[in-house]
Every structure is written in structure tokens, then in C-alpha cells.
Amino acid sequence: MCIKGWYCFPKSDDPLPVILILPSYGNTPIQIPYTLARLGFAVVAIQIHGLDVEVDNYPEGDDPSAGKNLDNPSEYYLRKAVASAKRAIDFFYTRSEVDTARIGVAGTSQGGGLALLLTGLDNRIKATVATIPTLCSFSEGIESGCCSRVRRSIINGLVNKTTALRTLSYFDANNFTERFTKPVLLSTHFKDRISAPNTVFALYNRIPSRTKQLIIHANLGHEFPVNHWDVPYSWLRVVLMKE
């Protein structure tokens, strides 16, 4: 599968720290990551479904991916998503302007969950930002969190709950927390019913990194304020640029 994305980097005489931005759920345009480039990072933002990053003919309606192939981990959409993200990390090693000792990964919602999952699977990542992440603590989330499409498949008789949870367990970032030894920044919103706070706390409490931080917003749901990325971007600059 061809993986498409935006790649931006500023002019610099020195090798640049680099960030991989992973997308939230759905088939929608991928924003050009100008902001991080202006802050001094090389940055890639990818589309995980094999579609282009900006077209007028994305599939209409809800993305059904999360509710399909729940009886087979090898066919579940998150396997291709993780493979796409790992190939993006490989891409950094082909670029002379990139300092591969300073690779970060970031995302919101599904993108945050993918950032965590990738961190657990790829030791080349040196810093991780996962704001209001999904893909953690599926056994709790299937009741109150991001798994509405999974619940729908169970209710409609397309898969039984035990089989669905077994497939999802392959992609649960909670199974990899012992590998989170590098700096990690998470956020949770107390009124969020998609990235439910209990699932984020369950993961955060198991992370062994001494450089971990959790941002809490008591009055927000699954929403993205205008300044949503201000603190995470500043944090990445401190961690990867040593400012």
C-alpha cells in the first residue's frame, strides 16, 4: 500500500529533530504540519488508509473500519495503521536533514493511541505525545469509551464480545507500558466519553518512565480547543531540542 503524507522542514545547517503526526479516526484531509516546522522540527503527517492527504472525494459517512474484521487481528485496520507508522519512521532514516537520535511521535484521539502503540513497538522513538488517546484499556473502553463501532458489531451479531476483545488486545497500548521508558506526555478530559478518563489513567499509572506528565482538563469532552497543542509543542521542544 502506498502511504501518503505531508513532509515539512525548516532550513537549517544542523540536523533537525523530527516528529511523526498520526491521524485521528476517519477518512478526512490531513493538515499540513506548518506549525511544528516553524518551531524548528522536521515533521511528517500521514494518512493511514492509503488515500491521498487532501482530495475532494473521501468516502462519505462514518468510517466503518473499527467495526470490521474483529474476528481476525491480522486483518484488523490497526495492523495496517501501525505498519504505515513504522514505515514513516523508516523514512526519517533516508533524510540527511534529520537527526534520527531525536524522533518524536504525536497524535490526538486515535492518533494519540497509535502514538502510544508505536512507542511500545519501536524503540527508535525518543518522545511521545498522546492527547486524549484511544486504543488503551479496551476492556474498559468497550463499555464507555471509543468502541461504539465495536459495540455496534457485537449488538448486530457480527462478532461476539470475547472474540472482539481478543482482537483488540493485540492493539491495546496497555500491553506495552513496560517499554515506555522515554519521555511521555498524555492528556485527559473528564467529560470525554470517547477517550474515557479511566482508560487514560489506567495506562498512565503503569508507565515506568520518570519523565511522564498528564494534563487534565476537568470541563472538556472529546474536543480540541484552539490552543490544544500549545503545551505539547512546548514540551516537545524542551525534550527534543533540549531548550
Q: What was the pLDDT predicted at 77?
A: 95
Q: What was the pLDDT predicted at 159?
A: 95
- Residue given cell 471509543 in the structure block: 146
Task: Name the DSSP letter for residue 3.
Answer: -
Which residues lie below 8 Å from residue 144, measured CB to CB, with a gap of 6+? Answer: 193, 196, 198
Residue 211, domain CATH: 3.40.50.1820
Task: Domain count for the chain, please give it.
Answer: 1
Stated length of the chain: 243
- Residue given cell 477517550 in the structure block: 195
Q: State the pTM of this model.
A: 0.94
Instruction: Determine the structural domain holding residue 28 and report its residue range.
Output: 4-241
CA dihedral 17, 22, 24, 25 (to 10 degrees): 180
Q: What is the Cα–Cα distance from 114 to 136, expressed in whole angstroms?
A: 10
Q: What was the pLDDT predicted at 243?
A: 52
C-beta of residue 155 within 8 angstroms of C-beta of residue 183: no
For the record, the C-alpha cell of 82 comes out as 501501525
Q: What was the pLDDT predicted at 132?
A: 96
pLDDT tens digits in sequence order for the chain, 243 residues long: 889 999 999 999 999 999 999 999 988 889 999 999 999 999 999 999 888 998 888 888 788 999 999 999 999 999 999 999 999 999 999 999 999 999 999 999 999 999 999 999 999 999 999 999 999 888 887 877 678 899 999 999 999 999 999 999 999 999 999 999 999 999 999 999 999 999 999 999 999 999 999 999 999 999 987 788 899 999 999 999 865
C-beta of residue 182 within 8 angstroms of C-beta of residue 128: yes
For the record, the C-alpha cell of 152 comes out as 455496534
Q: What is the Cα–Cα distance from 112 to 229, expressed in whole angstroms?
A: 12
Q: What is the Cα–Cα distance from 63 to 97, expressed in whole angstroms?
A: 36
